[in-house]
Amino acid sequence: MNSQQLFRRSRLRLAAWYALVMGGILGLLGSGMAHILVQANWAALEREIESSAGTLHDSLEPMLPPAQDPTGVLQQIFPDLCVVEQPCEPNPSLIQRHTLGISDRTTYYIRLFDNQGNLLAYSPNQPESLSSTLNPDTWQTLQTKDSQRYHQFTTILHGAAHTHALDEEPHKAPSWGYLQVGRTLAAFDAERQRLQWILIGGLPLALGLVAVSSWWLSGRAMQPIYQSYRQQQQFTANAAHELRSPLASLLATVEAILRLPPTQSEQVPTLLKTVERQGHRLSQLVTDLLLLTSLEQNTTAQPPQPCCLNDIVADLTEEFAELAATTQIHLNHQIPDIEIRIMGQESQLYRLVSNLMANAIQYTPPGGSVMVCLAAHDRIATIAVKDTGIGIPLEAQSHVFERFYRVNSDRSRKTGGMGLGLAIAKAIVQRHRGQLALDSEMGQGSVFTISLPS
């Protein structure tokens, strides 16, 4: 399986898990909100029914007759109700409807029972399938044969004689009868069904949007990993290539030594020097790789210490003076009289400046100059390494800090470079929370500027 397939599968799995988790969360939230809305509507509906029943109850109790046959009185009190065993031809006026406390008779219905549970009067719009036998439960939910649902509230009625009895507690007085107020649940069921359809239609749409966003977000999340993997692959390939060349040369030299006849033993020292040179090259390459890895992974355990940049620049200028003189390059430095100190690792700072100075000397033709300038401003220490060398092409300036990158591979091999110097320099600068900038022009030279917090 190649890297493209591996990362595509990883992206698909990440997107699937993200969509699954987000879909579950959205589903739970949607169901919870719908349940809360339904419960809130149900509670409001019960309060409305109970309020209407309470208003009607308080209006009726003072007028309830104590007689055993209340038919006549009931017809006067409830002109729009149907009395049991009598023709039902209600035709109430608007004033009478408001007097009874419930004007919307298409939504509500009323039923009256005596204290024996016998039905006395009822609304003409009551459900046909309702039983004429009293069910004393306070709240009831009924369903007719045509699947229409009703919610019903039952309360006790006390006659006028009992409500005015001072020597008897109201809750202990015998009841006159029962009042039932019911309400159709058509509007409530329609609202609940609408919420269900919103969930059924909206949840898949939300899941689709989540799936699309998951695929996009997983791609964004996997991009740095993919880039790191590509860089690691490139680094492995470059490291293998860099190790292969000196190893091949080393093995070839050893084989040549083994095949030399005894008469040509005088050539052995020369060949052994080649072996030594290749061994040093391999050792330096491994050392640089280990240093670069430790810098990037921050595995150095030494605490930062005060470092004098004046001494570092002065010492390195002195060390490179002989190399510069050999190549006919003028090497100078500008160091202020005041000491500039920063917190860091002195050995790493030496390596940082020496890498830049070595590159400047190597890529500056004879007769050129290299200048190292140290300055400090606003608690920022800067070290600028300027040369009058061949310069770096603009298209290569963004890659020169990558591992094993060479602007000119043949020239680099001739000068002994392995393409790790600037990568190590950049890692050291980042380790010290600084910045490394490059300004170069072909044929005019380059300026590498180090900025470190002091």
Residues 307 and 169 in one domain: no
* Residue 156, domain CATH: 3.30.450.20
Beta strands across the sheet bearing 149-157: 82-83, 119-122, 108-114, 177-184, 149-157, 139-143
Tokens of 410: 């043949």
Whether 190 and 65 share a structural domain:
yes
Q: Report yes or no on 233 lying in a domain.
A: no
pTM greater than 0.85: no
Pair (325, 442) in one structural domain: yes
Do 317 and 172 reside in the same domain of the chain?
no
pLDDT (tens place) for every residue of the chain, 454 residues total: 566 777 888 888 888 888 889 888 888 888 899 899 999 999 999 999 999 888 888 877 777 766 555 666 666 666 777 878 777 765 555 444 444 445 456 788 888 888 888 888 888 888 887 888 888 899 999 888 888 899 999 998 886 655 444 344 544 556 788 889 999 998 899 999 998 888 888 888 888 888 898 888 888 888 888 777 776 776 677 667 667 777 787 888 888 878 878 777 777 787 788 788 778 777 777 777 777 777 766 666 677 889 999 999 999 999 999 989 998 999 999 999 899 999 988 988 999 999 899 989 988 999 999 999 999 988 899 999 999 988 888 888 888 887 777 666 444 444 445 677 888 888 889 888 899 999 988 888 999 999 998 7
- Give exposure, 46-85, as e/b (b: 16+ Cβ within 10 Å): eeebbebbeebbeebbeebbeeeebeeebeebbebbbbee
Report whether 414 contacts 341 (CB < 8 A): no
Question: Looking at residue 304, what DSSP letter applies?
Answer: P
135 vs 171: CA distance, rounded Å = 20
Q: Can you say how many angstroms the Cα of residue 103 is from the centroid of all Cα atoms in its chain? A: 55
Q: From CA 245, how far away is CA 412, in angstroms rounded?
A: 14
Instruction: Say if residue 166 is in the same domain as residue 312.
Output: no
User: What pLDDT does 334 receive?
Assistant: 92
Final residue before a domain boundary, out of 172, 194, 216:
194
Tell me, yes or no, whether 320 lies in a domain: yes
Q: Which residues pair with 371 in a beta bridge?
A: 332, 386
CA distance 429 to 40: 63
Q: For residue 296, is it within any domain? A: no
Report the amino acid identity of residue 250. Answer: L
Q: Are 122 and 133 in contact (CB under 8 A)?
A: no
Task: Classify residue 133 by its DSSP letter.
Answer: B
pLDDT given for residue 133 in this prediction: 85
**The domain that contains 404 carries what CATH number?**
3.30.565.10
The CA distances from residue 293 to 288, 423, 427, 431, in Å, are 9, 11, 9, 12
By the 8 A CB rule, do 115 and 130 touch? Answer: no
The pair of structure tokens assigned to 14 is 């990440």
The answer to whether the CB of 70 falls within 8 A of the CB of 160 is no
Residue 286 belongs to some domain of the structure:
no
* Of the residues 179, 194, 209, the one at which a domain ends: 194
Question: φ and ψ at 439, to 5 degrees?
Answer: -135, 115
3-state secondary structure of 153: strand
Residue 213 in domain? no
Which amino acid is present at 332?
N
Task: Kindly state whether residues 175 and 49 are assigned to the same domain.
Answer: yes
307, part of any domain: yes
Tokens of 183: 């309400």
Instruction: Tell whether 140 is covered by a domain.
Output: yes
Q: What are phi and psi of 324, to 5 degrees?
A: -65, -40
Residue identified by tokens 């419960």 is 39
State phi, psi for 172 to the nearest 5 degrees.
-100, -10
Same domain? For 190 and 307 the reply is no
Q: Is residue 396 domain-resident?
A: yes
Instruction: Write down the pLDDT at residue 418.
Output: 64
* Structural domain that includes position 359: 302-453
Domain count along the chain = 2
* 307 plus 426 within the same structural domain: yes
Of 194, 213, 238, the one marking the end of a domain is: 194
Q: 161 with 36, same domain?
A: yes
Do 183 and 306 fall into the same domain? no
Number of H-type helices and E-type strands within the chain = 10, 13
DSSP code string of 163-204: HT-TTS-GGGSPP-EEEEEEEE-HHHHHHHHHHHHHHHHHHH
